[in-house]
Amino acid sequence: MTGKWLYWFDELGIGDIELVGKKCANLGEMTKAKVSVPPGFALSLEAYQRFMNETGLTEEVTEFLKRYGDEGIKGYGQFMEASRFVRELIETKEMPADMAALIKENYRKLCTQCGLEDVAVAVRSSGPVSMPGTFETYLNIIGEDDVVKHIIKVWASTFNVQAIGHRVNQHHPLLIDGIGVAILKMVKAKTAGVAFTMHPTTMDDTKIVIEGTWGLGESVVSGAISPDRIVVDKNTGEIDMHINPKLKQVVYQEKGTQMVDVPLELQNVPCLTKEEVGRLAELAKSIEKYYGVAQDIEWVFDDDMDPAQNLFLVQTRNISVVKEKKTDAEKIVELMLLRVFPRRSTPKTFGEKTP
């Protein structure tokens, strides 16, 4: 162990995936590339290990898992039982005093940097390996005590039902080396979503596909709503907009977030202007050029900032492409599955698992 387990984004880069996880490493790389990224800091995998070891959780969880015998956990019922017990166990533990003090000190530095007494932050998981959507994220967290509390909640999510099931099915140990955590300033989202620098179904690398909605982007990322879908030609700049009725949006409440109705006058209005689409497409192209491979990008337009400076990126991931395009039959099967198990189009559709 290095002893250091907290890093500001400008200390990190793409080579630090094993240190802080993919999301944090990418936030660091984008910060170095001078992309507009919300300010913040990261906790390394070592922070998770310290917490688990110094609170006695490693021994307690190991002892609990012995009840399942040599065959280990099997079946959804046991996944649920183990998840409930271990998550409650983790969330009842106090952060070691020196760790809590350092996290609070850096949260206060972030508040000072942002010119706010208590800045609202996102507390996001950052896995070192691809486990899409497995671990949990908490938004609009305010105050140093709540930040510490939700970091522990993110760590506890390494034992949610999906995470346990994944490890069992992949024959991985149930006790893991840990995940990173990103603590970054919340953006007051006017509109948000994702952008693919390659068409996610046709794999046409001359197209950028943008999906967006009003409010925070979690409803797009999770597949909870049908977003606007915009296709931009990289060469000509031609824009093709398909506007969906946007009935719900995720917005801030005093603490945390909630799903609310979109005002009637905005439900059938494009969430992005053509000028905003153009800016986002140009930024997406520059990110793709920087990384040298097609990207899946999460973006936000800030409602409080000058329109010339209000576009932020909160994540980017490489897209890996399979060699052969899908047949029409494969596309039809996928569409049928999407109706039964709705989710957004992601790189996983054509070969990439995301962090």
Parse the chain into domains and list their residue ranges.
6-185, 189-350
> What fold does the segment set 6-185 form as a domain?
Dna Ligase; domain 1 (3.30.1490)
pLDDT in tens, the chain (355 residues): 558 999 999 999 999 999 999 999 999 999 999 999 999 999 999 999 999 999 999 999 999 999 998 788 888 899 999 999 999 999 999 999 999 999 999 999 999 999 999 999 999 999 987 665 678 889 999 999 999 999 999 999 999 998 999 889 888 888 888 999 999 999 989 999 999 999 988 999 999 999 999 998 776 766 667 899 999 999 999 999 999 999 989 887 777 788 899 999 999 999 999 999 999 999 999 999 999 999 999 999 998 788 888 999 999 988 865 434 444 444 444 444 433 333 333 333 333 333 3
**Contact 346/200 with Cβ under 8 angstroms?**
yes
Helix axes 57-65, 75-91, angle to 10 degrees: 160
d(CA 132, CA 137): 12
pTM: 0.82
Give the length of the chain. Answer: 355
Which phi and psi angles does 316 have, rounded to 5°? Answer: -145, 145
For 189-350, the fitting CATH number among 3.30.1330.100, 3.30.470.20, 3.40.47.10, 3.40.50.720 is 3.30.470.20
d(CA 218, CA 134): 14
